[in-house]
Amino acid sequence: MSCPEQIPTGPLGTATRRIDGRAKVTGHARYPSDEPLHNAAYAHLVTSRIARGHIARFHLEEARNLAGVLDILTFENVGQQAKPPKMMTGGGTTTTLQDNRIWHDGQIIAVVVANSFEIAREAAGRIRVDYDEESPSPTFDSPGVEAHIREAGEHKDYDVGDVDAALARAEVVVDEWYETPTQHHNAIELFTTTCAWDNGQLTIWEPSQFVYGLRGNVAQQIGVAPEQIRVISKFIGGAFGSKGGATARTAWIAIAARRINRPVKLVATRGQGFTIATYRAETRHHLQLAATKDGILDAVRHEGWEVTSRPSNYNVSGNETTARMYASPSVKTKVNVVHADRNTPGFMRAPPETPYMFPLECAMDELAHRIGCDPIELRRRNEPERDPVTGLPFSSRHLMRCFDEASERFGWAKRDAKPRSMADGDWLVGWGCASAAYPANIAATAARVMLRPNGQARVEIAAHDIGTGAYTVAAIIAADKLGLDVGDVQVDLGDTRLPPASLAAGSSHTATISHAIGKACDELSERIIRAATTTNSGMFAGADPRALRLQQGRLVGPGGASEQLSDALKRLSPGALEAYAENIPTGLKPEALAQLYSGQPPMSRGHSRQDVTAYAFGAQFVEVRVHRRTCEIRVPRMVGAFACGTIVNPLTAYSQFMGGMIWGLGAALEEKTEIDPVAARYVNNNIAEYLIPVNADVCKVDVLMLPEIDDDVNPLGIKGIGEIGIVGMNAAIANAVFHATGRRVRRLPIRIEDLL
Ligand code: MOS
């Protein structure tokens, strides 16, 4: 397949600094909990000290008697006023104040409201609770967990060909078990909610990846119309999936504000964030590959186990991706859901792919080693012509080109394949690689674009900039379409008063918002051109409209004749010109927009389309150094090459790829939420003991963005880039550790003690 080049002719594809960068670094950016409100009160959450059982009795007197305490909410006094939040992915959720049931350690059981944060916190500490305690089941293999095969639902399993026969007759079989740990997002910004009522209208300031979703969800929970709620989320200090769905706290702060008739502000503590929000649950995998001695795959079987809470069936089912990575005549997948006494998990950067690609890409490396084949060559031999499970064509697939470019940049040709063969003094050197893939998703969304008489534009869309650069992407698209400088475009996001954008997740947001904004801009430009060509006078009268375009703040026609955009606008309006547009991508029904307005996020997913299979691909390479004596593991360099369609802003895209790779380093070597096996409690629920990479852990990160034009994925050819950067890292590092040491570690994170 060829891979034609994307050559920017305007703002689209040109590296552009964040338009909100100055506001952020100077402190002018107002995050939701920064909202200054007159007469605000402060909330503090009281959370359960047990993981399973019931509340027998609250002792609230001591807390109530503290001067400055305004209210204490428990299920006994507000339990009838709210329903639990609906999970976006089905099943109930645990974190609720509706009754006395305790589902997990750290569940919200009461909310104290006081005149200051300090008083609220002090009062919360004075509340005593009697529990009827039962013994909890924290994770896999604990007595009392309940496992079942995932029911049909959002995700699919595949059963193609005869995997058992292929495994029985295979010349080479890889048959291994792998594990990934519990992880928490730990965004810098904590989980906050601020609520204020005014005349029956509720305003919620909360960091959110989906303001319309939060509005619809809270409306249902507290029994008001969505129109009575406004959600504002202008800046978000990191989310990574954790601010995608509604959680219990919002409704309770809304009720608290209504009860005391004052605005109420909650900033949950870092530790509370581990249990009142979502996280990535631990997974287990059984991976089997059958192949010829030349490495031609005959079977891929991937069975996964995922932990979730008691009432929720949340699962990520990443075998939808692993099933279509390589050509194989037989593929079988299955997912088991394991219910434990835990809070409900949720999205975390590349939710399905990060845990599921780890076993597949390690197993491919094991197969390559077993048959003495280079791991890149092994993937080349199994590169599919079409989607191996559906038979659909790929919208575009440049996986091998990614391997070729990344391996050249990395210097892979100099690798001695023998484990422990490369050393530098006391350091064993290992080189490893892995594939990355992520579905190209796009959602239904609306946008409004206004052109002012002075030729400046304003984009209005309830999209979300979770640190990814969405403000800048919105400005780039409008500037590109309207022939303006990026600096002449103002962008307003994160407010349910604006046209709805779907949730900023699934690496879909750039594709999603670009198409809606682009449509609104196209409509404006068509109107301007039509007005210029259908008038009886002026330099464009009677001209072919197809020969006119907006460029550099001017309307430009045949032969280079041009006029100021502001003059062209005057033909249509003495004031501003405005266009509202809705975009419903291929594969979604017309009612998608109505669903979006009500808070559902209809999304066309790259792995579930009927016409093509649409994925972004990448190849990731790492060097690790393992100290001969101490077994300390360092990662001096990483290279990633990605083919992700049109890159709207190479500068912020680079940050996304690089950030994903650095996170992958942390996931492979550092990150793990430890669970007390008796109390079913997260032990390192703080940012001191929850390890993430620091500057000293990260050396050289090379990102190659391969030019790729994909006309089938969507009109603008945009694939997502927010998540793919993390996907191959777990396996690339594990494979490099094997190459350095000869030790296969199939359980993450890989630690010194695994190598001693
Ligand atoms: Mo992202 S983890 O898909 O919100």
pLDDT tens digit sequence for 56-78: 999 999 999 999 999 999 999 99
From the CA of 468, how far away is ligand 1's center (Å)? Answer: 12
Amino acid at 368: A
Rg (CA), the chain: 27
With the CA atoms of 402, 405, 407 and 410 taken in that order, what torsion angle do they form, in degrees rounded to the nearest 10? Answer: -120
Query: Which residue minimizes the CA distance to atom 4 of ligand 1?
Result: 241
Q: What is the mean pLDDT of the chain?
A: 96
pLDDT digits (tens, 9 = 90+) for 728-753: 999 999 999 999 999 999 999 999 99
pLDDT of 84 reads: 79
Other C-beta atoms closer than 10 Å to the C-beta of 153 total 12
Going by the DSSP 8-state scheme, the letter that residue 626 receives in this structure is E
pLDDT bin (cut points 50, 70, 90) of residue 1 is very low
pLDDT digits (tens, 9 = 90+) for 384-421: 999 999 999 999 999 999 999 999 999 999 999 999 99
Q: Which residue has the tokens 């709620």?
A: 229
Look at residues 466, 468, 461 and name the one whose alpha carbon lies nearest to residue 443. Answer: 461
Alpha helices in 490-616 (DSSP H): 509-534, 565-570, 592-597
CB of 723 within 8 A of CB of 438? yes
414 CB-near residues (< 8 Å, 6+ apart): none
CB of 109 within 8 A of CB of 97? yes
Q: Which atom of ligand 1 is nearest to the CA of 243?
A: 4
pLDDT of 85 reads: 79
pLDDT digits (tens, 9 = 90+) for 691-709: 999 999 999 999 999 999 9
HEC string for 666-732? HHHHCCCCCEECCCCEECCCCCCCCCCCCHHHCCEEEEEEECCCCCCCCCCCECCCCCHHHHCHHHH
> In this structure, what token pair is assigned to residue 363?
């197993």
Percent of the chain having pLDDT more than 90?
A: 93
Mean pLDDT to the nearest integer, 592-598: 96
Q: Which atom of ligand 1 is nearest to the CA of 350?
A: 2
Q: Which atom of ligand 1 is nearest to the CA of 508?
A: 3
CB of 553 within 8 A of CB of 486? no
Q: Please list the residues that pair with 247 across neighbouring strands.
A: none
Cα 29 to Cα 21, 22, 35, 201, 539, distances in angstroms: 9, 9, 11, 25, 45
466: phi then psi, degrees, rounded to nearest 5: -90, 25
Helix H or strand E segment including 380? helix 375-381
Measured at the CA of 429, the angle between CA 656 and CA 703, to 5 degrees, comes to: 20
pLDDT digits (tens, 9 = 90+) for 319-350: 999 999 999 999 999 999 999 999 999 999 99
Percent of the chain having pLDDT more than 70?
A: 98
Which residues surround ligand 1 with Cβ inside 6 Å?
209, 240-241, 244, 347-349, 351, 505-506
- pTM of the full predicted structure? 0.97
pLDDT bin (cut points 50, 70, 90) of residue 2 is very low
Q: Which atom of ligand 1 is nearest to the CA of 244?
A: 4
With the CA atoms of 38, 498, 603 and 386 taken in that order, what torsion angle do they form, in degrees rounded to the nearest 10? Answer: -120
Mean pLDDT to the nearest integer, 541-557: 96
Q: Which residue has the tokens 């409900």?
A: 344
* Residue of 210, 438, 510, 723 with the most ligand 1 atoms within 8 Å of its CB, for mutation: 723
From the CA of 347, how far away is ligand 1's center (Å)? Answer: 5
From the CA of 87, how far away is ligand 1's center (Å)? Answer: 14
Cis peptide bond prior to 707, omega within 30° of 0: no
Other C-beta atoms closer than 10 Å to the C-beta of 26 total 8
* Residue of 279, 317, 349 with the most ligand 1 atoms within 8 Å of its CB, for mutation: 349
From the CA of 40, how far away is ligand 1's center (Å)? Answer: 32
Terminal CA-to-CA distance of the chain, rounded, Å? 45
Q: Which atom of ligand 1 is nearest to the CA of 347?
A: 2
Helix H or strand E segment including 492? strand 489-492
Other C-beta atoms closer than 10 Å to the C-beta of 719 total 31
Can you tell me the distance from the alpha carbon of 438 to that of 642, in angstroms, rounded to the nearest whole number? 11
pLDDT bin (cut points 50, 70, 90) of residue 151 is confident
Cα 701 to Cα 349, 623, 691, 704, 725, distances in angstroms: 19, 11, 20, 10, 11
Can you tell me the distance from the alpha carbon of 313 to that of 360, in angstroms, rounded to the nearest whole number? 24
Helix H or strand E segment including 57? strand 53-59
HEC string for 161-185? CCHHHHHHHCCEEEEEEEEECCECC
Q: Which atom of ligand 1 is nearest to the CA of 503?
A: 4
Supply the residues annotated as catalytic. Answer: 723
From the CA of 239, how far away is ligand 1's center (Å)? Answer: 8
Mean pLDDT to the nearest integer, 610-631: 98
From the CA of 286, how far away is ligand 1's center (Å)? Answer: 25
Q: 213: number of CA atoms within 13 Å, CB side?
A: 25
Q: Which atom of ligand 1 is nearest to the CA of 504?
A: 4
From the CA of 664, how far away is ligand 1's center (Å)? Answer: 15
* Residue of 154, 347, 353, 502 with the most ligand 1 atoms within 8 Å of its CB, for mutation: 347
CB of 316 within 8 A of CB of 380? no
pLDDT of 491 reads: 98
pLDDT of 88 reads: 55
